[in-house]
Amino acid sequence: MSRDVLSVTLIAYCFIAVWFVGGLTVFHLYLISTNQTTYENFRYRYDKKENPYTKGIVANFKELSCSKIPKPLINFRQWVAEEEDILDESFTSDLEKGFISSKQKFDMDMGLYGKD
């Protein structure tokens, strides 16, 4: 094997890849067992106090693996009704009037100038 450079390179590459993937796997198993996110682990250390969200190792894995997926709050497959154009004027005519002063507000949806 020492004469074949490609084999040694492939072995070293696979060892490094397995090392990183294995390390990430072990780290995420730890996160699941303590019921934390990565952000919580790095930012809010529970070393000094008890994690209020942990339910125990078995219950944490069970909650992640066996809980039902909640129904989405938004139906992405619903048909959307088209709205008719409210304005007949174009926005360029509004822009030609000049700059908006600091006392006036421009509503992009309505295309109207208003005061505070």
Query: Does 84 reside within a domain?
Result: no
Query: Does 60 reside within a domain?
Result: yes
Query: Does 48 reside within a domain?
Result: yes
Q: Which of 74, 73, 53, 72 is nearest to 64 (CA)?
A: 53
Number of domains in the chain: 1
Which residues constitute the domain of residue 3?
1-66
Q: For residue range 16-58, list pLDDT tens digits in order.
A: 999 999 999 999 999 999 888 888 888 877 667 788 888 888 9
Q: For residue range 84-115, list pLDDT tens digits in order.
A: 655 555 555 555 555 555 555 555 555 555 55
Exposure of 60 in the CB half-sphere (CA atoms within 13 A) = 17
Query: Does 109 reside within a domain?
Result: no
Name the pLDDT band for 79 (thresholds 50, 70, 90): confident
